């Protein structure tokens, strides 16, 4: 019997810190001797590493966690153009196939006991021109979700909208990470309000990490800061058997 546990990192928007959180979580799991793998089924935007084209997000997670997974295992659908997946797939002439994604996940489940998956952009993102949406994929793969939200002005609205939408799409959000958390009145109140109004028990905050840039593969000390601010026991309790 396979008892792999997983979490799907989703965001209130693109660029909110899903990759930073995925990399921090991978680091934390590996440090605690968990057999953990990263999964980014659909990626747009590539980096050439050692002459091979890989998803920029997967490259960053590899650098932070120090764990070099084979790119083709991690990212079945990777597109060079950093545009919405349905458009990237259309431009490349290679449509996204849910069966291929399912097979990639099945292989990862044989290899790993813990899987950290990352979405592309927000939840209501089309994956093809036939209304196959990112939330359909996550529901089909039976992952619980961890929602990454910004810390500043506007985040209460984006977070509550995403939570309501996730629920209506049949997804379970097990945790929220408020990312880039500072010490201003607005940020502190946002975190408190989200804790109170979201109905989600596990709400974490991750501070601003200096010299962090997922695009240029600058890690700052993300691994250490993530470990200091997100308790291992709390975060793994959001990961369910998939």
Ligand X SMILES: Nc1ncnc2c1ncn2[C@@H]1O[C@H](COP(=O)(O)OP(=O)(O)O)[C@@H](O)[C@H]1O
Bridge pairing between strands 5-11 and 240-241: antiparallel
For residue 85, state whether it binds ligand X (rule: CB under 6 A). Answer: no
Site for Mg ion in 71-90 (CB under 5 A): none
For residue 20, state whether it binds ligand X (rule: CB under 6 A). Answer: yes
Per CB under 6 A, the list member of 5, 18, 86, 150 interacting with ligand X is: 18
- Closer residue to ligand X in complex, CB, 23/171: 23
- Closer residue to Mg ion in complex, CB, 38/114: 38
For residue 43, state whether it binds ligand X (rule: CB under 6 A). Answer: no
Strand partners, 11: 148
Site for ligand X in 199-228 (CB under 6 A): 206, 208-209, 212-215
For residue 19, state whether it binds Mg ion (rule: CB under 5 A). Answer: yes
* E-only strand ranges, 41-80: 42-44, 46-49, 52-55, 77-79
Residue 136 burial (10 A CB sphere; 0-12, 13-18, 19+): middle
Give yes or no: 47 in active site: no
In angstroms, rounded to a whole number, what is the distance separating the alpha carbons of residues 117 and 145?
9
**Residue carrying structure tokens 């609205």:** 157
Q: Which residues bind ligand X (CB under 6 A)?
A: 11, 14-20, 179-180, 206, 208-209, 212-215
**Residues involved in catalysis:** 40
């Amino acid at each position: 019997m396979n008892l792999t546990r997983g979490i799907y990192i989703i965001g209130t928007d693109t660029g909110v810190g899903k990759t930073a959180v995925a990399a921090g979580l991978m680091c934390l799991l590996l440090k605690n001797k968990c057999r953990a793998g990263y999964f980014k089924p659909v990626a747009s935007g590539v980096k050439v590493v050692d002459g091979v084209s890989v998803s920029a997000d997967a490259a960053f997670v590899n650098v932070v966690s120090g764990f070099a997974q084979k790119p083709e295992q991690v990212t079945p659908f990777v597109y060079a153009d950093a545009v919405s997946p349905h458009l990237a797939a259309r431009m490349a002439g290679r449509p996204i196939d849910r069966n291929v994604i399912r097979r990639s996940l099945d292989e990862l489940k044989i290899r790993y006991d813990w899987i950290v998956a990352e979405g592309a952009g927000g939840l209501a993102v089309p994956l093809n021109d036939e209304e196959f949406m990112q939330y359909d994929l996550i529901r089909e793969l039976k992952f619980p979700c961890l929602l990454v939200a910004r810390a500043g002005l506007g985040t209460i609205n984006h977070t509550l909208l995403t939570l309501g939408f996730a629920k209506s799409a049949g997804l379970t959000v097990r945790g929220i990470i408020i990312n880039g958390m500072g010490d201003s009145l607005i940020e502190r109140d946002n975190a408190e309000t989200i804790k109170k109004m979201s109905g989600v028990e596990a709400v974490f905050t991750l501070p601003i990490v200096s010299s962090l840039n997922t695009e240029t593969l600058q890690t700052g000390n993300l691994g250490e800061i993530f470990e200091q601010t997100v308790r291992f026991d709390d975060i793994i309790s959001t990961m369910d058997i998939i």
